[in-house]
């Protein structure tokens, strides 16, 4: 199946951006030995990337806000499940009577200043795709200036804030920093971008983290010595389908961090997939993409199915014919989320 997806990525006219996907050696420990030439050539750029990141992080003094700030982030390029994790935390806080709000950069959107996301007014081209999903759960504020967004959220009535993908942003003082890690790939080959998938050295990131949430099946937690000295909470969770997949022939497509996980989940749940097509993360579907995917589905007498994140990037007038398979994050131990958020809840009551 992997070869079939790769074939489509190379030859299908609707998959030209799939070639922008990360190299395989990023996400495997044997990548240290499997791609020595590539790694060696890329290491100087990695050092430069680290230097710039360090400078940007150190030049900002975090602002302490009158409400607690929870940061949900990752240290890997690409998807790890942080947005479902952020949603799970917000839902628990709301269940305790709190009023959380999301703060996010809005990757892929063209919004310049801070704004509250309104799914009826904004599209993914304005605010990005993930903020549209977050806004269905709790008030969501998008903008490059996290402090301005935070002040706007507090004025709107929020008594706690959740930064989605804000781990490398130092503008706000954080009361709880949670790292989402994919249990299947972990820290990848352990190198910083572009020699590897990491946004910063793992050791430095772990010093700022209060908790790690391993998401999905996998044993990578046991293969990273960098994690042996971590003293914070280590929790496990999985992404659970909220419904059985539709019956009949399906053509699955996805433009997320790791689309193969979506395809695998569908197959495991019993879906009859006739084809799988992977796009680059946050891919904006064009009219040509829609036409090509529709033709492929007709060829196989199948229906199109995708993720909730991809659905918001699909033309609104055509979404009625698109099947969406939603997932939600579920902790391995139900009381883990309560323990994780106990301090935040206490400070708000």
Phi (first) and psi of residue 189, to 5 degrees:
-85, 0
Do 272 and 316 belong together in one domain? yes
Is 42:147 a contact under the CB 8 Å cutoff?
Answer: no
Do 95 and 174 belong together in one domain? yes
Q: What is the 3-state secondary structure (H, E, C) of 153-216?
A: HHHCCCCEEEEECCCCCCCECCCEEEEEEECCCCCCCCCECCCCCECCCHHHHHHHCCEEEEEC
Phi (first) and psi of residue 142, to 5 degrees:
-115, 140
Other CB atoms within 10 A of residue 13 CB: 11
Distance CA 222, CA 32 (A): 17
3-state secondary structure of 89: helix
The answer as to whether 203 is a domain residue is yes
User: What's the whole-model pTM score?
Assistant: 0.88
Do 84 and 223 belong together in one domain? yes
Do 128 and 232 belong together in one domain? yes
Do 13 and 151 belong together in one domain? no
Contacting residues for 349 by C-beta, under 8 A, at least 6 apart: none
Distance CA 245, CA 326 (A): 10
The answer as to whether 57 is a domain residue is no
Do 15 and 132 belong together in one domain? no
CATH of the domain at 116: 3.40.50.300
What is each CA distance from 344 to 5, 158, 180, in whole angstroms?
43, 13, 18
User: Would you state the structure tokens that stand for residue 204, as one six-digit string?
Assistant: 């430095």
Per residue of the chain (349 residues), give pLDDT as tens.
443 443 344 334 444 434 456 777 777 665 455 555 666 678 778 888 777 777 777 778 899 999 999 999 999 887 788 999 999 999 999 999 999 999 998 887 788 889 999 999 999 999 999 999 999 999 999 999 999 999 999 999 999 999 998 898 999 999 999 999 998 888 888 888 888 889 998 888 999 999 999 998 876 666 677 788 899 999 999 999 988 999 999 999 999 988 998 999 999 999 999 999 999 988 999 999 999 999 999 999 999 999 999 999 999 899 999 999 999 999 999 899 999 999 998 888 7
Do 122 and 253 belong together in one domain? no
Count of structural domains within the chain: 2
The answer as to whether 45 is a domain residue is no
Distance CA 134, CA 140 (A): 6
Other CB atoms within 10 A of residue 243 CB: 10
Do 277 and 157 belong together in one domain? no
Do 220 and 255 belong together in one domain? no
Question: What is the gyration radius of the CA atoms in the chain, in angstroms?
Answer: 20
Length of the chain counted residue by residue: 349
The answer as to whether 49 is a domain residue is no
Question: In the sheet where 323-324 sits, what is the strand order?
Answer: 272-278, 249-254, 303-306, 323-324
Do 124 and 209 belong together in one domain? yes
Domain range for residue 213?
Answer: 69-239+330-348
Count the alpha carbons within 13 Å of 80 in the hemisphere toward its beta carbon.
29
Do 203 and 337 belong together in one domain? yes
Q: Based on DSSP, count helices (H) and strands (E) in the chain, helices before strands.
A: 12, 13
User: Would you state the structure tokens that stand for residue 349, as one six-digit string?
Assistant: 């009551």
CATH of the domain at 269: 3.40.50
């Amino acid at each position: 199946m992997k070869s079939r997806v790769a074939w489509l990525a190379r030859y299908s006219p609707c998959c030209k951006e799939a070639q922008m996907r990360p190299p395989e050696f990023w996400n495997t420990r044997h990548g240290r030995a499997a791609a020595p030439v590539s790694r060696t050539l890329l290491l100087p750029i990695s050092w430069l990337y680290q230097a710039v990141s360090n400078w940007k992080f150190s030049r900002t003094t975090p602002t302490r806000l009158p409400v607690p700030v929870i940061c949900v982030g990752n240290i890997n390029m690409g998807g790890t499940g942080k947005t479902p994790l952020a949603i799970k935390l917000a839902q628990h806080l709301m269940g305790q009577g709190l009023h959380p709000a999301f703060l996010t950069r809005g990757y892929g959107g063209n919004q310049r200043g801070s704004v509250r996301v309104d799914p009826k007014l904004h599209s993914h081209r304005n605010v990005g795709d993930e903020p549209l999903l977050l806004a269905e759960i709790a008030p969501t504020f998008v903008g490059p200036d996290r402090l301005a967004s935070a002040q706007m959220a507090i004025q709107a009535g929020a008594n706690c804030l959740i930064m989605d993908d804000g781990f490398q942003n130092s503008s706000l003082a954080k009361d709880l920093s949670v790292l989402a890690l994919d249990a299947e790939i972990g820290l990848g080959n352990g190198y910083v971008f572009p020699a590897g998938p990491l946004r910063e050295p793992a050791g430095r990131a772990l010093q700022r983290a209060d908790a790690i949430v391993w998401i999905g099946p996998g044993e990578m937690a046991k293969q990273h010595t960098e994690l042996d000295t971590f003293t914070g909470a280590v929790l496990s969770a999985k992404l659970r389908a909220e419904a059985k997949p539709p019956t009949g022939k399906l053509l699955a497509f996805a433009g997320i961090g790791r689309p193969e996980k979506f395809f695998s989940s569908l197959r495991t749940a019993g879906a009859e997939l006739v084809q799988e097509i992977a796009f680059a993360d946050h891919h904006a579907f064009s009219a040509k993409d829609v036409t090509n995917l529709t033709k492929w589905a007709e060829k196989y007498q199948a229906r199109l199915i995708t993720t909730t994140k991809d659905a918001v990037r699909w033309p609104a007038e055509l979404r009625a014919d698109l099947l969406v398979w939603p997932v939600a994050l579920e902790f391995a131990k139900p009381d883990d989320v309560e323990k994780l958020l106990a301090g935040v809840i206490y400070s708000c009551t």
